[in-house]
Amino acid sequence: MTGSDGIYQLHWPEFAIKAKVDRLKSNSEHEVKGEVTFTSQNMASQGHLRQSRVNLSSTAAKNALVKSLSERVSSDDVPWDTIVEQLCVAVLREFRQGPPLLTIEGDMDVEAVDKWLIEPILQLGHPTLVYGKGSSGKSWFGQYISVLADAGVSINGLRVEPSRVLYLDWETTDKELGSRVTMIRRGMGLDGKSSIKYREMSQGLYADIETVRNHVQEHEIDLVIMDSLGAACMGEPESAEVVLRMFQCLRSLRVTSLCIDHSNKEGSLFGSVYKFNSGRQIFECLKAQDEDATHLDFGLFHRKASNSKLIRPLGFKIQFNEGSVDISRRDIKDTALESEMTVAERIANALSSGAKSPKELAELLDKQDNHIRQELLKGKQKGRFFELGNGTYGLAFHQQTVEAAWHNEVVI
């Protein structure tokens, strides 16, 4: 027997018989039911034999299955009673046992452990959430990630591990996604064809998890992209039960995932706080686009990090051409999204052109003087800013150059 996570394949080579068991469910009486499909590779009875939903712990159900199989292939040729009993015992043992008990010894080589599928966005084996308003560029980013992972291309500051991708789509169609993937690949100058697996979704992940799990195992998927998370929950987004159930299903796939989601009226992640709690990395997607412009700037603002530090906002430019799309990195400070950065980041941007006084910074950033002084003090304590003798501030990595220039000016 092979398989795991509720999907098992069994093979009896001597009798050329195979079976698949999936869609396993346990009830309050600890009875386990599953779909069992038998096939034969014997020339006399080749192909499908029986498919039935069976109570694996019921003697009557097992006897009924044995009788049904014997009508297709005589029990004189195949010992159906033994085969069915072996199947039920083996599957029940594996299903009930669950993941093995491990011992954490605390001596792991931390540096050798793979941490990223796509650095610094997707941590290996964990969900990343990207949320934002409609048409903010988040779906384009998800599709861009799918192309990068499928092609194994590291570009625009993203270090990418080649991955097999499954795109679960509650929002569009295969034609729209296919069109966008084609445009992105053309913009990147990629030859050949992609091998991104696609499935149009109409039910919540919980209701469709067995089929999705089958696809993940069959195609050895590494990365699942879900667009969108709200539809994947298929229930009240404020409900902790609905959200936790969805993330439990996602966790059972044992893959890295990118979940696209929407923001609420306040601009926060829509729905239950358990969405925020369940995401390993969370980014807010904001865009800036002029009317009739053929490009848009969007930024990913890091709102949560687990096992890593919060990173500076990542800026991108999407240039729409005829039949292709170019996606490139762009510094947030050079876009209209600069005002969305933290005050400390905006101060650093302002000081990159030269030292300034707190008053000048307050006027430039339209902030209170006290607020600016507090941020300067915190930045100074962290070694990010430094204070010159004339009451102005500069960036720490400019310190030697600026101090020398100021000293020369005083001497003169």
- Helices 138-151 and 174-188: angle between axes, nearest 10 degrees: 60
Question: CATH homologous superfamily of domain 112-336?
Answer: P-loop containing nucleotide triphosphate hydrolases (3.40.50.300)
Decide if 299 contacts 331 (C-beta within 8 A). no
| Residues in the chain, pLDDT under 70 | 112, 397-412
CATH 1.20.1250.20 fits 342-411, yes or no: no
What is the per-residue pLDDT for 221?
98
Token digits of residue 354: 């030269």
From residue 8, give the alpha-carbon distance in Å to each of 5, 34, 53, 242, 411. Answer: 8, 11, 14, 27, 82
Q: What is the pTM of this model?
A: 0.83
What is the per-residue pLDDT for 44?
75
What is the per-residue pLDDT for 67?
96
